[in-house]
Amino acid sequence: MALIKDILRTMDYGPSPESSEHVLSWLERHKAGFGLFINGRFTNPGALFDVFNPATGERIAGATQGSPADIDAAVTAARRAQPKWAALSGYGRAKHLYALARHVQKRERFLAVLETIDNGKPIRESRDIDVPLVARHFYHHAGWASLVDSEFPGTRPVGVCGQIIPWNFPLLMLAWKIAPALAAGNSVVLKPAEYTPLTALAFAEICVEAGLPAGVVNIVTGDGATGAALVAHAGVDKIAFTGSTEVGRAIRKATAGTGKKLSLELGGKSPFVVFDDADLDSAVEGVVDAIWFNQGQVCCAGSRLLAAEGIADAMYAKLRARMAKLRAGDPLDKSTDVGAIVAPVQLERIERLMREGAAEGLDFWRADDVLPNRGCFYPPTLVTGVEPASILAREEIFGPVLVASTFRTPDEAVALANNTRYGLAASVWTENVNRAFEVAARLKAGVVWINSTNLFDAASGFGGYRESGFGREGGREGLIEYRAPDAPKGKPYPPAAAPLIASPGLTPSQESAGGLDRTAKLYVGGKQTRPDSGYSYAVLDPRGNEVGLAGLGNPKDVRNAVEAAAKASSWGAATAHNRAQVLYYVAENLSARAGEFARRLRTMTGASARAAEAEVETSVRRAFFYAGFADKFDGAIHATRSRFVTLAMNEPWGIMGIVCPNEAPLLSLVSLVMPAVAMGNCVVVVPSSLHPLSATDFYSILDTSDVPAGVVNIVTGETNALAATLAEHDGVDALWYVGDHPGAAKVEALSAGNLKATWLTTTQPDWSRAEGREFLSRAVQVKNIWTPYGE
C-alpha cells in the first residue's frame, strides 16, 4: 500500500472510478431499446440504431430511428399543447420550470454518469460543469417565465419550436434550447444527436416525473434524416440548431421562404491571444481549459493560440510541461483530464486533418503518454509554426489539438485573430486593462473572455458573428429568439412589378438642357456616379407621364457600393454622440427643404399635398427620433453566477443591405436607414424602384449634413435583382428586405452563403408608426465580454 508521504513526493494518482451501477441498471431496464417521447409518453421501440460508449467501443443501448411520420406525430402533439401552455400564467409556467430544475438536481449524479458513458467526457466535467449548468438554466428561465409578458410587450410566443442539438454537450444543449422556449410560452420537438441520445431520453422521464403537461416537450431520436424531416415540417414555427456550419447553411436554405424563425449556433476557430505582459502560468491553465476541455470538442474551443513573439518560447515550454501532466483515459475516473472522442468517424476526421497538417511540414508535440488500447482516444497535441493559410489554422478540428503562431504588435494580433470565417468566441490575456478592452472591442466574436475562457451562464447570451451563426442562447437576448412580434395587420406585398425598361443614358448636352440634370445618378462613396450599365429607366407618375430618369444599377454597382461602405468602417468606431449630431443635422436639413421633398412626392406618387407634407414631416421626426437614440440604446451588465462583470455590448453588424418598398418612398427609406446608421452601420440602400427620386434627392441632404462618404450608398434599379446581389455578397453582414414573398424567399436562400442575418417584412406596415427599439435591436449584434471582477 502506498504511503501518503510517497504519494505527495511523486504526485502519482491511483484509480478513482465513479460508480456507474445505477446507470447500468437503468440501461438494463431498457435493453429492448428506447422509444420516442411524444405527447407525454414513450412509444414502443421501433427500428433501432446502436448507441456506443466511446471510451470502450461497447454497445450500451438501442434508440429508435425517428421517421417523418414520427416527426409529424410529435409536431401534432406540440401544436395541440402549445395554446394551453401559452395561456398559462407566467407564474404557472415558472412553477413547471422550477420543478424541472429541482428534478435535475435530484438526479444530478445519475445524469452526470450517463452523460459521461454516452459522450466520453471526463466525469468531473459532466458532474461539476454540465449538469449544474443544466439546473441553472431551468432555474434562470423559471424567472423569465413570470416576467416575459411585462418585459417583452408587443410580442407573443413563436409557437412550435423544432430544436436540433449536437453531441458535444448533449444535456446542456438540451437545457439551452428547451428552457427559454418553455419560458416564452412555446412547445418543443427536440432531436438529440444520433451519437448521444441517452440523457435526452432520461430528461423525458424527468418531464413526466415533474408533471409537465403532455405534448409541451417531445423528443424524437434519429439521424440527420430525422432532423431534416423536422426542419421541413410545415407545422414548425421556429428552428433552433446547434452544430456544424455546413449543416447550418443547409438549414438556412431549407427554411428560406417558409416563414420559420431561425437561430443558428455553429462552428468556431476561436483565438486565444496572449500578450507579453500576461501571467503565463495562468494563461497556460487557461489553454488547458480552452482546448483540452471536453477533448477540444467545443464549438468555442480556444484552438488557435496567438502568442506575443517575445514570450512564445517560454509559453510553449510551460505548455509542454503542463501537457505532460494531463491524464488521458477512462472518463469515469475522477482523475482523468482528457476523455474519449465521441465516435470513430470523428476520430478519423481529426486524424485526417492532422495528416494534412503534417504534409505541410508543421511541428507536432505530444506527451509520452500511453492511451487506452480500446475506445476512441486522441492525445493532447501542440502544433507550432502554423501559418494563417494552413489547413489546421483554417478548419475546425474539433479535437484536442492546439495550433500556435506568433505576433509582434496588437494590430497584428487582432488581424490574425479575425482572419477566419468564424466568429464565435475569443480569449484575451494581458495585465493591461486598456489593452484588454481595446482588443476585445476589435475582435469579431460574439463572446470575449478576458484572462479567462469557456465561461458560461444562463444569464449571459452566447452566440457568434459571421459564419458562426446568428441569434443568441441565454440571457435576455436569448429569450427574445423565442418570441415573435404580434401578428402584423398589413396586407401582403403584391408581386414585384414587371422588369424595368432600360434606355441608354442621356448625353451630357441632353442632361444639361434647361440647366437641370434630369437623370438621377447612383450615390456611391459620397459621390454621384453613373450606373455601370450606362442605362437608365423612366420614372413615371400614376398617369404614366415621365417625371425623370433614374440609373439602372446592376451587380457591379452593388459591389462598388459595398466596397465604399467597407472603406467607411470608421463610422462604427465614432462615438455615439458624434453619430447623433450628424443625424440631427440630417433631420434639420431635411426639414429646411420639406417643401421641395413634398412637391417631389406629389409629382411621383400622385399623393395629395396634405399627404405628401405629412410624409416629409414624419420623416423629419423619424430622423430626430433615431438621432436621439444613437447614444441611448445601451447594452447591459449580466448578473452571472461567477465573479465577473459580463458586459453585453451592442455592436453594429458592419455593412448592411437595405431594400425599401414602393409605398411611402421617402418615409420608408428614412425609417430603415436611420436606425441602421445610428447604431454605427454603413449601408447599401436599394430605394423604391417605382419612386426612386426621393432617395436620389436625399443624397443631397447627406452631402450637406457631414455624413462621411460611404456611410450611406444608394443604388437604384430593379428591386429584387439588386436584393439578390446583396444577399449573395459575402461582404454584406446583414440584410433588411421589405417586399413581396418570392423576393424574401430568394433573399433568405442566397444569404446562406455567408450566413448573414436577415430581417424580412412581407406585409405592408403602417410607416407612420414604424419606429422603435425593434429596429435598433435588429441593427446590432450582441458581444458578451467577460471580465474578472472582485474576489
Q: Average pLDDT by consecutive 10-residue portion of the chain (791 residues)?
A: 68 77 96 97 97 97 98 98 97 97 97 98 96 97 95 95 97 98 98 98 98 98 97 98 96 96 96 97 96 94 96 97 94 95 96 94 87 94 94 94 96 97 97 96 96 95 95 94 87 80 53 51 95 92 91 96 97 95 97 96 94 97 96 92 89 97 96 98 97 94 96 97 97 97 96 96 93 95 92 64
Task: Count the residues in the chain.
Answer: 791
SS3 of 662-731:
CCCHHHHHHHHHHHHHHCCCEEEEECCCCCCHHHHHHHHHHHCCCCCCCCEEECCCCHHHHHHHHHHCCC
Residue pair 363/376 in contact by the 8 Å Cβ criterion: no
| CA proximity to 398, closest of 319, 308, 300 | 300
Among 299, 376, 660, 682, which one carries the catalytic annotation?
299
CA distances from 521 to 113, 421, 431, 709 (A): 68, 35, 53, 16
- Record the pTM: 0.93
Q: How far is C-alpha 250 from the geometric centre of its chain's CA atoms? A: 15
Say how far apart CA 582 and CA 704 lie, in whole Å.
Answer: 10
CA dihedral 108, 112, 113, 116 (to 10 degrees): 170
CA distances from 638 to 266, 381, 480, 634, 664 (A): 23, 35, 15, 13, 40
CA 238, 242, 248, 250 dihedral sign is negative
Residue type for position 94: A
pLDDT of res. 516: 45
User: Is 299 among the residues known to form the active site?
Assistant: yes
603 exposure class (CB count in 10 Å sphere: 0-12, 13-18, 19+): middle
pLDDT of res. 490: 78
Collapsing DSSP to helix, strand or coil, 306 comes out as strand
Among 265, 396, 615, 771, which one carries the catalytic annotation?
265
Say how far apart CA 369 and CA 358 lie, in whole Å.
Answer: 20
User: Is 477 among the residues known to form the active site?
Assistant: no
| CA proximity to 113, closest of 334, 397, 317, 311 | 334
Alpha helices, DSSP H, located in 458-607: 475-479, 508-511, 555-567, 570-573, 576-592, 594-605
From the CA atom positions of the chain, what is the Rg in Å? 28
CA distances from 205 to 433, 624, 629, 783 (A): 48, 55, 48, 36
Say how far apart CA 447 and CA 646 lie, in whole Å.
Answer: 10
Say how far apart CA 438 and CA 414 lie, in whole Å.
Answer: 10
Neighbours of 83 (CB within 10 A): 12
Q: Which residues are registered as beta bridge partners of 736?
A: 658, 759
Q: Which residues are registered as beta bridge partners of 328?
A: 338
| CA proximity to 138, closest of 178, 97, 102 | 97
pLDDT of res. 619: 97
| CA proximity to 449, closest of 136, 783, 726 | 783
| CA proximity to 183, closest of 474, 420, 551 | 474
pLDDT of res. 327: 92
pLDDT of res. 18: 84
Residue pair 566/732 in contact by the 8 Å Cβ criterion: no
